Structure 1
Amino acid sequence: MLGKTPKATAHRPYYNCGMELGFWERTSGTWINAATVLAGTLVGLALAGRLPERLRRIMVQGVGLTTLFIGFTLAGALNRVQGGTVDGLIIGLVALVLGGLLGEWGRLEDGLERLGHALKTRFQGGGRFTEGFVTASLLFCVGPLTLIGSIENGLLGDDTLLMIKATLDGLSAVALTSAFGVGVGFSVLVILLYQGGISLAAASVAALLPDPATDPRVLVVTGVGGLMILGLGLNLLELTRIRVASFLPALALAPLLWALAELVS
């Protein structure tokens, strides 16, 4: 998740070359990302018993403040998009509201929490297991590095962006685990399914996204994702409680709304 929108890579042709790559070459970044999160979780668990509460709290607050900054930065992508005559910010707002309504109707946040509770019971996790699982799953999977990095990995075998993401996620996992416990580590299941799935499916979307870094559909997803990341930052700082998972449908609605605005404008 963490990181800024990558610059355009015009020298990299996005054509359907993924079929020539092996499974490891197309998903290497995802496996490395999962490994760094697990390593960060182990370090966080080792520190948790030795750090006083005030130090654990300050670590999470540091991640929270950084998350807010990244969220603001990514949300700015909406200012770079225009769907016909409709401003990108309007598209993002409508996507977020409609997506939030759909997410609450489908009780996505509750579903993710139920999965966290099931894992907690199955593996006898303690403390704030579910909160850590939900927070880490969203934090590590919402953002442009996940989307663009997975597409590059799946198409070209280039895991550079996912390696950057893996480093940032691993460091964040240390701080989150020290506060929430082992539930953070179980977010690797979501990383493997979501991020790995995008990498494996990348070849099929190559024709639709000739340059993912500058494509307006990716930019609106980035902007909406940035707004969701802002919500995660507020939650980490315990300023309020935003049901961020309920907004997940907005990520799918944003490019559809952009296409509609292009069509009718």
Structure 2
Amino acid sequence: MVLLGTIVNAILIIVGSIIGRFLKDIPENMKQTVMNAIGIAIAVLGIQMGFKSNNFVIVIICIVLGGVLGEWIDLDKWLNRLGNYVEKKFGSKAAQGGSIAQGFVTGTLIFVIGAMGVLGALNSGLQNDHELLISKGIIDGFTSIILAATLGIGVLLSAIPVAIYQGAIALFATQITKIIPEAALDLFLQEMTATGGIMIIAIGLNLLGLTKIRVANLLPSLVIVAIAVTFIYNF
């Protein structure tokens, strides 16, 4: 089922939000310990994905070129601007209409904007592999508990854009298999998984507070991988 990972992710956000409404005062130490545990697990998942490559030189070249391109475009800045725009758009309404709008906007920005959702949705669509989206769902679920405890039940509604966004990517990815030769697709999946693994490691390190890597600026690496694989396959 192509949308399994997306559905699980959305459900975990909903469940976490409901739980959060009953947990008003979560101890700060507990929050930190849980997030550290998730960060370590995500980093290990990224390492596991990194070993999928049969030619790590390709991965290194793609991640470097993709990082340069991403920094030049500065995707991270544009995503933050988008977040600020949405926040301002709904800010006054949130202030007047209680915590529902504020919780919805905040949850959407946190759960939708990021590399993990893109990578996970691609894995779901291309390989029917939902491990990454389910892992993201676990992170989102715990985060939604904390958010809902402070911002209200509106966080629950952020599951809707998450489902639409990730589901659309997964469904689009399934169409790629109809136009790309199987051998080329297998090569792309190997190198994309390894390249994505590096980004997942970065996300884990960020969650641990060890780094502040702008992971969104590494996303062009996936496009570079596709170009590199096309060149290798044809020549």
Q: TM-score if structure 1 supplies the norm length?
A: 0.68
Among the aligned pairs, what percent are the same residue?
Answer: 22
Equivalent residue for 1:252? 223
Alignment of 1:154-173 (within 5 A): 161-162=129-130, 167-173=134-140
| Cα distance in 2 for residues equivalent to 1:193 and 1:203 | 16
The one-letter amino acid of 1:189's match is P
| Cα distance in 2 for residues equivalent to 1:187 and 1:74 | 27
Matched, 1:140 2:117: yes
SS of corresponding position for 1:226: helix
Q: Which runs of 5+ in 2 are unaligned?
A: 95-101
| Cα distance in 2 for residues equivalent to 1:147 and 1:49 | 36
Task: Identify the match of residue 241 of structure 1 among 201, 212, 223.
Answer: 212
> For this pair of structures, how many residues does the alignment match?
219
In structure 2, the CA distance between the partners of 1:170 and 1:197, relative to structure 1 (3 Å rule), is closer
| Cα distance in 2 for residues equivalent to 1:102 and 1:136 | 19
SS of corresponding position for 1:133: helix
Matched, 1:71 2:46: yes
In structure 2, the CA distance between the partners of 1:107 and 1:242, relative to structure 1 (3 Å rule), is same
The one-letter amino acid of 2:110's match is F
- Give the Å deviation of 1:151: 3.7
Equivalent residue for 2:125? 150
Task: Identify the match of residue 178 of structure 2 among 203, 206, 209.
Answer: 206
- Give the number of the structure whose residues are more often helix, by fraction: 2
SS of corresponding position for 2:41: helix
- Give the Å deviation of 1:229: 0.5
Matched, 1:115 2:82: yes
Q: TM-score if structure 2 supplies the norm length?
A: 0.75
Contact persistence 1:147–1:198 (CA under 8 A): yes
Q: Which runs of 5+ in 1 are unaligned?
A: 1-25, 82-87, 154-160
SS of corresponding position for 1:208: coil
- Per-residue CA shift, 1:189-245, capped at 9, x if unaligned? 355234423414523532415379x81111101000000001100100000100000
Equivalent residue for 1:227? 198
Which 10-residue stretch deviates more, 114-123 or 231-240?
114-123
